[in-house]
Amino acid sequence: MEVTNRYITIKAHIDGAPKESDFELKDAALPLRVDPDTNLVIVKNLYVSIDPYQLNRLKSFSSSQTAINFAAGVTPGEGIDAYGVGKVVVSGNPEFEKDDLVVGLISWGDYTVVKPGVLLRKFDPLGLPLSYQVGILGFSGLTAYAGLFDICKPKKGEKVFVSAASGSVGNLVGQYAKLFGCYVVGSAGSKEKVAILKEKLGFDDAFNYKEETDLKATLKRYFPDGIDIYFDNVGAEMQEAAVANMKAFGRVAVCGVISEYTDTGKRAAPDMLDVVYKRIKIQGFLAADHMNVYQDFLQKTCDQLSTGKIQALEDISDGVESIPSAFVGLFRGDNIGKKIVRIALE
Ligand SMILES: NC(=O)c1ccc[n+]([C@@H]2O[C@H](COP(=O)([O-])OP(=O)(O)OC[C@H]3O[C@@H](n4cnc5c(N)ncnc54)[C@H](OP(=O)(O)O)[C@@H]3O)[C@@H](O)[C@H]2O)c1
C-alpha cells in the first residue's frame, strides 16, 4: 500500500521574524513497507510539538545549530523533525510493532520514516490525553521541572518571577513553584493571559508586559523586596530588568530568549556589577541534560494531574497545513499554553 505524505518545509532560510509564506506544504508518495533488516519504523503522526527553538534551526546561521544534535540546521526543501506522538504503521525494528503508540522525534508531516538511533519510545498514555506527551508530560514539562528544581533550587516562601508565563514552559514553572510554596508572579502579553494566570492557574500576581514602559520599575512594584528566582524565557530587556531587581544570591535560569530569536541584533546586557555584588547565579540549561530527573518529574506530575493540583494548558490546531500559522503564532504571542498541532485522530 502507498499513501501520500504531506509535509512542511521552508522555501529558504528564515533570518528574522517568520511569516507563513516562508513555508510550503509538499507531498510525496510513501510506500507503507520496510525491509525487515533496515530497522526502519513508519509512524503515522498524531500530535506534533510547535516550539520556538525550531526558528534557530531554520536560520542560515545560529550558534545553537552546532551545539546539540536536535538543534541542527534545517535545509530548505527538506522535512523538519519535531517532537511528537504517533502510531506505528509498519515496523522493520523488533522493538516496535504495528499499532504501538510512540513518542519521540517525528516530523511536521503526516508520516515519519524513523531511522534506527533516532529518539523514539513506546509509551502508556495512562488514561491521559495523548497530547499530554507533547506538552505537560513531554519536554515542556521536563524543562519547567528541571529548570526550576535543578537549576534554581527554590526554597519555600521564595519569590519567583517567570516571563512568557502563559506559554508552555512558563505556565508549568509557575504552577510547580506555587505547589512548592513559592510566591509567583508571571508576565505575559495580553489581558486574557494575565487573567488566566491569576484566576485559573493560581499565580499570586501577573502583568501584561506590553502595557509597561519601564520594566525595571514594574518589577520593583511587584517585588518591592526583590526577586529570588527569575525563570527567563524571553531574554533582552526583561532579563536586564529582572537582574536589576534580584536579591542577593538570586538565581536566574536562562531557559530561552525568544525575544532575541527574531532579531539577531538584540541582546540582554544585565548590569554585571549587580551580578557580582549581589552574587547572582545566571545559568543557561537544556532540558535534554536533565533526563536523570525524568522519572521523578513524570511521577509527580501525573500525581498532581490526577488530584487536579496542576492543570494542562494546551492550544491545539488541526492538520499539517496549520503548522506554519501555529509556528509563526508563537512569535506573535497567539498561543495560550502548549502549542500543538493534531495531525490525525488516533
Ligand atoms: N532550555 C530548554 O531546554 C528549553 C526547552 C523548551 C523551551 N525553551 C525555551 O523556553 C521559552 C518558552 O518556550 P515555550 O515552548 O514554552 O513557548 P511558549 O511560551 O509556549 O510560546 C512562546 C511565547 O513567547 C512569548 N513571546 C513571543 N515573542 C516574544 C517577545 N518578543 N518578547 C516576549 N515574549 C515573547 C509569547 O507570549 P506573550 O503573549 O507572553 O508575549 C508566546 O506565546 C522559549 O525561549 C524556548 O526557546 C527552552
For residue 117, the model assigns a pLDDT of: 93
Looking at the domain assignment, is residue 19 inside a domain?
yes
User: Domain check: are 162 and 213 in the same one?
Assistant: yes
Distance CA 228, CA 225 (A): 9
Contact 37, 92 (CB under 8 A): yes
The residue assigned the cell 485559573 is 200
CA–centroid distance, 165 to ligand 1, in Å, is 8
End-of-domain residue from the set 246, 272, 288? 288
CB atoms within 10 A of CB 295: 9
The count of structural domains within the chain is 2
Give the DSSP letter string of 252-266: EEE---HHHHT-TT-
Task: Please report whether residue 301 resides in a domain.
Answer: no
Write the residue with the smallest CA distance to atom 27 of ligand 1.
331
How far is the C-alpha of 203 from the C-alpha of 165, rounded, in Å?
10
Residues 196, 282: one domain?
A: yes
Instruction: Kindly state whether residues 15 and 97 are assigned to the same domain.
Output: yes
Of 109, 142, 122, 137, which Cα lies nearest the Cα of 30? 109
Residue of 136, 116, 114 whose CA lies nearest to 125: 136
CB 168 within 8 A of CB 193: no
pLDDT at 333 over 90: yes
Average pLDDT over residues 23-37: 95
pLDDT band of residue 64 (cuts 50, 70, 90) is very high
Tell me how far the alpha carbon of residue 302 is from its chain's centroid.
19
Q: How, if at all, do strands 338-342 and 111-114 pair?
A: unpaired
Split at pLDDT 50, 70, 90, the class of 37 is confident
DSSP state of 200: I
**C-alpha grid cell, residue 323:** 503548522
- CB-based contacts of 172: which residues, under 8 Å, 6+ apart? 136, 140, 141, 144, 145, 310
- What is the DSSP code string of 266-285? ------HHHHHHTT-EEEE-
Query: Which among 70, 163, 258, 290 is the best mutation to test ligand 1's pocket, defined by most ligand atoms within 8 Å of the CB?
Result: 258
Packing angle of the helix pair 215-222, 236-244 (nearest 10 deg) = 50
Cα of 196 vs centre of ligand 1, distance in Å, is: 17
64 and 118 inside one domain: yes
Residue 36 has pLDDT above 90, yes or no: no
Separation of CA 330 and ligand 1 centre (Å): 7
- Candidates 3, 13, 41, 46; CA nearest to 320 is 46
Indicate whether 306 belongs to any domain. Answer: no
- Same domain? For 207 and 105 the reply is no
Q: Are residues 270 and 150 in the same domain?
A: yes
**For the chain, how far is it from start to end, CA to CA, in angstroms?**
19
Determine the pLDDT at residue 9.
Answer: 98
The answer to whether the CB of 79 is under 6 A from ligand 1 is no
| Cα–Cα distance measured from residue 175 to residue 180, given in angstroms and rounded to the nearest whole number | 9
For residue range 17-29, list pLDDT tens digits in order.
999 999 999 999 9
Per-residue pLDDT at 264: 83
Q: Is the beta carbon of 51 within 6 A of some atom in ligand 1?
A: yes
Tell me, in angstroms, the distance from the centre of ligand 1 to residue 224's CA. Answer: 26
CA of 157 to the centre of ligand 1 (A): 26
pLDDT above 70: percentage of residues in the chain: 100
Q: Extract the C-alpha cell encoding 215.
A: 520594566
In this predicted structure, what is the pLDDT of residue 177?
98
pLDDT in tens, 215-254: 999 999 999 999 999 999 999 999 999 999 999 999 999 9
- Domain with 169 in it: 139-288
Ligand 1 binding pocket includes 330 (Cβ within 6 Å): yes
Q: For ligand 1, say whether the CB of 168 is within 6 Å of any of its atoms.
A: yes
pLDDT surpassing 80 at residue 346: no
pLDDT, tens digit, 9 for 90 and up, residues 205-224: 999 999 999 999 999 999 99
Question: Does residue 279 contact residue 258 with C-beta atoms inside 8 Å?
Answer: no
Specify whether 230 is located in the same domain as 199. yes
